[in-house]
Structure 1
């Protein structure tokens, strides 16, 4: 699950345009970062991804995020409106990337391969996605609506690929999506098992490539089923 630096820069640029109007109000940003707001936002988004991925939303601290980014923590409130706003900006970029990958014309096997590989290559983002599910139902749970909307779009994509013949009509698209999302998260959720049965490092690029290829082949066999 990868959010590229370029995507983060695009997100930061958008946020910069939104904050220009706010900058004309009496509220002022700390002096040391006024000259390069776009870079500051990128740094904060990258640091937030690491902090939220490692600890989840509830345990993450804005002071730690600011320290990782090397900026004054007041800038989180200034640019994002606080911790929740920063989290929402990060996940909006993430879900936007995921939705773009699952184009209705793109074969299911190719998308499954992408998710399997990206879950290994960007552990912080993959952990963030798991944290949202592990904290489901908690009083301070966050990201519920964003994830629900994203998943609904993914089910629509899987259903479109079913209609295109990528897998048999007797399989439920929603359940199939759950199966392959769980499979894509295996390296992160079951590292000991992966290491024991494959002899490979579940965090390695070699495993990501091999595992993604195996899942794609599995989808290919579904297409060949009578």
Structure 2
């Protein structure tokens, strides 16, 4: 569902990359940095993440992060944009709600999916958005999801007695449960929360819970 930026200053001073760095494929290098960043931010949150550790994970010079993303905050914002672009492609509005829910659960337990990052952002929330542009993009996506729920209710796919905004939040929270509460899932299911058996068992039950009988 969506990622968020939370307070902190981390913009680095930009410099031109060295000649050997310029010879690299810049898009592939940026993709490696972003993959490393989602792991670091998901493990430690925005405040605890370290640019040096992201660079180490990506196998690049730390200055490249400043050059390509203008530092830690710019890198975090880019992760949000990447998630929203992926979300729009991977979860189209015409996808059955049960299948959409299952896909969100599977994405949440993938370290690249940002389920834990979303939880970190929520815990660090101060009630004020530090980046107005990102807040607008995030809120526009959320309102789009609310309207999509209304359309599903009009078509009879979902119970029209439910508040669509509340249903979006319920679905988002439930879809991220395995990522946010791995210790509870481990105690309940007797296996790791990311194991295929637990993920598929949970996705099936959640889809049944959120949809009308026969729709899942």
- CA contact under 8 A between 1:76 and 1:86: conserved in structure 2? yes
Indicate yes or no: 2:97 matched with 1:108.
yes
d(CA) in 2 for partners of 1:185, 1:104: 20
- The residue number in structure 2 matching 1:150 is 141
d(CA) in 1 for partners of 2:17, 2:183: 46
- The residue number in structure 1 matching 2:163 is 172
- CA contact under 8 A between 2:153 and 2:159: conserved in structure 1? yes
What is the number of residues matched between the two proteins?
199
- The residue number in structure 2 matching 1:185 is 176
d(CA) in 2 for partners of 1:140, 1:29: 33
Cα deviation for residue 139 of structure 1 reads: 7.9
Matches for 1:1-226 after TM superposition, within 5 Å: 28-36=16-24, 37-122=26-111, 125-137=114-126, 144-221=135-212
Cα deviation for residue 137 of structure 1 reads: 0.7
d(CA) in 2 for partners of 1:206, 1:79: 39
Deviations 1:137-181 (CA, angstroms, capped at 9, x unpaired) = 178966644432332222222222222211121111110111111
Query: What is the TM-score when the length of structure 1 is the normalising length?
Result: 0.78
Cα deviation for residue 74 of structure 1 reads: 0.9
Structure number with higher helix proportion? 1
* C-alpha RMSD of matched pairs (Å): 2.3
d(CA) in 1 for partners of 2:52, 2:207: 41
Q: Unaligned stretches of 5+ in structure 2? A: 2-14
- CA contact under 8 A between 1:167 and 1:223: conserved in structure 2? no
Cα deviation for residue 136 of structure 1 reads: 0.9
d(CA) in 1 for partners of 2:211, 2:157: 7
Q: Unaligned stretches of 5+ in structure 1? A: 2-26
Query: What is the TM-score when the length of structure 2 is the normalising length?
Result: 0.82
- CA contact under 8 A between 1:116 and 1:212: conserved in structure 2? yes
